[in-house]
Structure 1
Amino acid sequence: MPGNASGGGTAVTRSTLRQQIADALRDEVLAGRLQPGQEFTVRQIADQYGVSATPVREALVDLSAQGLLDSDQHRGFKVHRFSVDDYRTMVEARSMVVDGVFRQRTERCSAAPSAQALLSVRRRAEEAARAARAGDLDILIGYDLRFWRELGALVTNHYISEFLHRLRVQAWVFAVPYLRSDPAPAEWLWSGHEKVVDAVTHGDAEAVRAEIHACNAHALAWADRLERGPAPADGSGAAGGRPAPAPARVPHGRRER
């Protein structure tokens, strides 16, 4: 394990190592390489990443607190298996929260974020929409999460933004195995990110709410389809339930979350 974080020359503290491990494992889950129900121990992860057990345990506890892992003091940890009903609840919860956020903005006549502040969000929107139309999950997930997180930071407070981000991560964790096993995932990937940014740019809270409602309705329609059709066995997707590869060390320069 290198002694410095990449690019900055700053010593890697236990806190940053803990976050790197948590980010790396979250990426493995979002990529579908760690499957729902897959079990592992602190020692296995520590050996895979070539680090001590303490920051690994802390990272796994953090991911458990975020609802992504289940812990068992006798068997270690496993990736949480969300149900279709869980997914619906996530979508409905974020819909209610976002509806409240924009209703409040309308009542307070809040000004739209500046065009300069929205530049980065618009770039995320363009990349996410392009990846969704192409059915490219590897590109889409990171940009989609960054898009909603950056947009949330502009239009609501930190606590609501972080709550919504957690719901979106959980929703992606549920969706990834199913979408990767779908021969035509683009049909079920929402690509209206740019319309949301346009509405925010114009300060049109009602239009923003309408676009986000369309996004959530799209997600619920997909959940209905899942219940009508066969689900992947044991929650597995295109990876066929194979064990996750064992990385040699914690990657540096993780993608922004």
Structure 2
Amino acid sequence: MSPVPVPDLPGVGRRENLRDRIRDALRAAIISGKLQPGVVYSAPALGAQLGVSPTPVREAMLDLVKAGLVVPQPNKGFRITEMSEEDLDNLAAVRLLIEPPTVRDVVAVIPKEDIPELRTLAQAIVDAAECGDLVGYIEADHVFHLTLLGYSRNRFLVDVVTDLRSQTRLLGLTPLLESGRLGRSAAEHHELLDFIEARDPSGAELLMHRHIGHVRGLWAGGAEGAP
């Protein structure tokens, strides 16, 4: 059986916590569909694409095994887990219960002086969309939303949402990019900050409902606003 071709992945470079950087890059590649559900990938092949040795890739993949994103295949590598339509519906439903009301609640506690840094995080999402960097888009989106939720000062909530977001599949990102709609969706993050800066909790909550609807509907390949 010939090895499965590995898609082009951005190198992770020399970072202080290499294992974490590799894990984040692989997680983003899985969520975006660059690493395809049901396919087995070897650590050496992934390491060659990332510019690192197979050892930290295996270590990072073991983290993703715990998260339920991959399944080890003895002497072969790691198989990307598949998500059913029902799974995606249920993930979106739980996220809708948690994220919009949490964003509503943190609007009043986010310091005004933090807004410029949050704008920088939001712009990183827009920049990745404009460059067609889907893996970078997923990573930037992940950082932005978890930073916002962090203002709740509830680490258990952040951990739950981190897991839910990691399980999400955004297999519709490529056609979204090709149609030009990814940039418009990315711009929603600045719109969300507009509501936060204006101290409008209701507006921020409603936008988060719409944003998560995109994830399940348009991004995941179904009808927009499906949840």
Aligned with residue 143 of structure 1, among 133, 140, 143: 140
Match for 1:186: what amino acid? R
Deviations 1:93-119, CA, capped at 9 Å, x for gaps:
11101244357x38xxx8331111222
1:184 aligned residue? 179
Structure 2 residue ranges without an equivalent (≥5): 1-12
Q: 1:164 Cα deviation (Å)? A: 1.8
Rate the CA distance shift 1:50–1:127 in 2: closer, same or farther, 3 A.
closer
Rate the CA distance shift 1:40–1:130 in 2: closer, same or farther, 3 A.
closer
Deviations 1:190-229, CA, capped at 9 Å, x for gaps:
241122112222333222211101112333442796379x
Greater relative contact order (Cα 8 A, min sep 6): structure 1 or 2? 1
The two structures have a TM-score, normalised by structure 2, of: 0.71
1:51 aligned residue? 53
Q: 1:155 Cα deviation (Å)? A: 3.5
Name the SS of the counterpart of 1:77 in structure 2.
Answer: strand
Question: Contact 1:149 / 1:162 at 8 angstroms: preserved in 2?
Answer: no
Larger Rg: 1
Q: CA RMSD in A?
A: 3.6
Q: Which region of structure 1 is more displaced relative to structure 2, 26-35 or 81-90?
A: 26-35
Rate the CA distance shift 1:129–1:92 in 2: closer, same or farther, 3 A.
farther
CA distance in 2, matches of 1:79, 1:118: 37
Name the SS of the counterpart of 1:78 in structure 2.
Answer: strand
Q: How many residues align?
A: 208
Rate the CA distance shift 1:186–1:135 in 2: closer, same or farther, 3 A.
farther
Structure 1 residue ranges without an equivalent (≥5): 229-257
CA distance in 2, matches of 1:188, 1:92: 25
Identity over aligned residues, as a percent? 23
Alignment of 1:144-159 (within 5 A): 144-159=141-156
1:29 aligned residue? 30
Match for 2:158: what amino acid? S
Rate the CA distance shift 1:170–1:185 in 2: closer, same or farther, 3 A.
farther
Match for 1:114: what amino acid? P
Match for 2:138: what amino acid? I
Name the SS of the counterpart of 1:192 in structure 2.
Answer: helix
Q: 1:59 Cα deviation (Å)? A: 1.7
Name the SS of the counterpart of 2:53 in structure 1.
Answer: coil
Alignment of 1:174-253 (within 5 A): 174-176=169-171, 178-181=172-175, 183-184=178-179, 186=181, 190=185, 191-222=187-218, 226=222
